[in-house]
Chains A and B, each alone.
Chain A
Amino acid sequence: MKKLLSALLASAMVLSLLAGCGGKTGGSGAPANGSNPGGSGTAAGDLKGDLVFAIWDNNLLEYIEDNDMVGKFQETYPNIDIEVEKIKDDSEYWNSMKMRASANQLPDVMFNKPFTLSRFQDYLLDLSGTEACKNNTLAQGYALNGKVLGIPMTAGYEYVYYWKDMFQEAGVQVPTTWEELKDVSKKLQDYFGAKDPDFMAIALGAKDEWPTYPYMEFMPALVSGNGQNWNDMAKSDAPFASGTDINTAYHRVYDLFTSGVLGKDPLGMSKDQVTNLFAQKKAAITALGDWGLQDISGAADSTDQLGTFYLPVRESASEPFRYIVQGDSFMGVTTHSKNPEAAKAFVEWFYSEAWYPGYINYVSSASSMANFPKDKDPILAEADAAQPDGEMVMYDGGGDDFTALQNETTFDYKKLGAQMLTNGFDLDAALADLDAKWGAARAKLGIQ
């Protein structure tokens, strides 16, 4: 009997070990780039199979459900079925995708952000031969080693939203330099803060940490006008030293954050809370992406007095005015897809006349497709009107070397932004510490 029990246990262990090995070996087969454009040379009816399409965007899900995306797609591709899988938010999305990548279980079609493209590059097929890629204005700019691993669904712009009537009441103008922004914020805080102790000139929501990104993530690129600033950082042993773009940018952010214009307790409130307060005019300014317009419109009684301007980072009016643009939501086909041709056909269809124009007009974001241009929402267009000579900076989220160094040094710029608001925070010491870690990490990882 003991022998039987031992045999059972042994076989259970062997089975589980084999199962574990299976997962790993599957992963090793992952990088297998295909380049055949989706569906080209294949009749729509010939393509078949099941696809999983993983998303995190609530607006996209709503549009997909309201407009029967699967049904419309099947009018052209009757033998392909699509399961739309919604994940809570983008943070959870990356966690889930990392786990699924190692388990050989990535969805057929997934999204990426500029900063995740390099992490998942071994798991994404090259889409450079597709029509969608050819018509996309941003895709080629984010190619890695000549391969287009995702087609940006939207062109993402960053705005500063403000209430015109509040500016008027406090007697301030839209700022065009960093000093003016500080001055305007201070005046707003003094004026409205005198009546309402809960007032915030700038609504930040630093409890969530990520809302610091318009300042912490984009300002170094805006200061230098170099969208590749993260990649250039990877080439330096002391990128946080005095005089560097990142040092200059973070000192400016620190000065603004600690000047009292974020209200009485910016670390105590989340992005949702402050966006609602901004919508109720308990705050005058908030910096968000173009997607933020939908959040604000949903919470505000009226957006008649809502305006936008680009974050003015320059020190003086004689410097060029720069603003960020980035490809957003890069739709890619994974190497784990059992039906890559069907998945590519879906990507082509998504960016075609049959679907994309309706979707892009539904969301507040800008179009990334040259063949389907879209006029900006009048509120967002105000930012362009205010800076007709603005210089666009194409933002890159950072490549392999930067990501490896970021992981090794645990450099988290969004967290650093929130830390600036804590008592006794010493920015110079924090940057010196990061420099020391950065140099050591470059040596350890052998990055030149």
Chain B
Amino acid sequence: MNSLERQRKLFIISSLAIPVFLLVCFVVFPAIDLFRMSFTNWDGLSPTSDFIKLDNYIAMFHNPDLWQSLKNNGVYFFVHLCMIPVELAFAVLLNSKLRAAKFYKTMVFLPYIINGVAISYAFSYFFSPVNGAFDSILETIKLGMLSGHGWLSDEKIINFTLAFVSLWRFSGYHIILFMASLQSVNQDIMEAARIDGANSWQLFRYIQTPSIALMVDFVLFDNIRGAMQVFDIPFVMTQGGPGYASSTFTLYTIKTAFTFANFGLASTMAVAIMIIIILIYIVQNKIIHGFILKEGK
């Protein structure tokens, strides 16, 4: 092995060792420890804990409030999922020769870079039943009969209110991701298709969509991960209430750990949410690639 070769290998190893070390310390080891804790009754304070086999897993399945919380996560998931085609349409629109496109791009992305807690506070006041801007807007546009619905207190609509805030915040991020991938589509192919007489819909359906499939995959995964782990918006705006009407899986996990001092059960929930995310992703992938995108391949 010559000197250059040795130096090259040394560089590669040291470049790998540091991230691997950090990964092991801060991801792999905590994940293993989380899994271990999920079989204990640790209260978060005691120096010791008992191994209680599958008791936490059984308790988790018998907890109606937790499943109510997971159902609430479902609202975020489906609302965001329904918006993905719209986000894609916006991205295509902003990617075309549109007047003041740069301004629109900035406006679309702006909510994503604002602090999430600040947004949640602002929307708490926006949807307030007294002096709330949303009700005032409804009254101004002669839709006063829709106002005063308890946007943050009615169990039937509270999750949709929160999902709307989540949409407002995250849609711009998805649009920017779609735009970035649309810009990477090979222009020669687009030009050739145009010469062959393809219209805008055909260009979108048969060239752009397959070209950005990877990004669609990522956005879909990001949607599952984000929807299943949503925390700051319900935490600040409603504390998961009233009762557990707007609680989410993560919110309930944190309450279990810190309010009810049951870190063992909370760890079980954290393991469960990891498994749920992976399962939903696999199923969604099968549906998207098995049926919807099959034609395009």
A residues apposed to B, CB below 8 Å: 1, 4-5, 8-9, 12-13, 15-17, 19-20, 24-25, 27-28, 30, 94-95, 98-99, 101-102, 119-120, 122-123, 198, 206-209, 263-270, 273, 277, 282, 403, 406-407, 410, 412, 415, 418-419, 421-423
Contact = CB atoms under 8 A, between A and B. Distances in A.
A98 B45 CA distance: 6
A12 to B, nearest CB: 4
B56 to A, nearest CB: 13
Main secondary structure of the interface of B (DSSP, over half): loop
Closest 6 CB pairs of A and B: A267-B153, A265-B129, A28-B47, A27-B47, A268-B129, A268-B153
Contacts of A5: 13, 16-17
A261 to B, nearest CB: 15
Interface residues of B, number: 44
Interface string B142-160: 0000001011111100000
Nearest to B25: A16
B43 interface: yes
Given A16-B25, A20-B33, A268-B151, A102 B13 contact: no
Nearest to A104: B47
Most B CB within 10 A of own CB, among A102, A120, A198, A207:
A207
Contacts of B65: 410
A102 B44 contact: yes
A230 B155 CA distance: 31
B44 A98 contact: yes
Interface string B40-54: 000111111000000
A28 B49 CA distance: 11
A101 B153 contact: no
A120 B261 CA distance: 12
B29 A421 contact: no
Nearest to A24: B47
Contacts of B25: 12, 15-16, 19
Given A1-B9, A24-B47, A407-B43, A268 B150 contact: yes
Contacts of A406: 260
B2 interface: no
24 contacts: A8-B13, A9-B20, A9-B24, A16-B25, A19-B25, A27-B47, A95-B258, A207-B238, A207-B241, A209-B239, A263-B130, A264-B130, A264-B148, A265-B129, A266-B153, A267-B150, A267-B153, A268-B150, A269-B129, A412-B259, A415-B243, A418-B243, A421-B153, A423-B154
Contacts of B151: 268
Contact of B260 (A27, A407, A422): A407
A267 B239 contact: no
B128 A267 contact: no
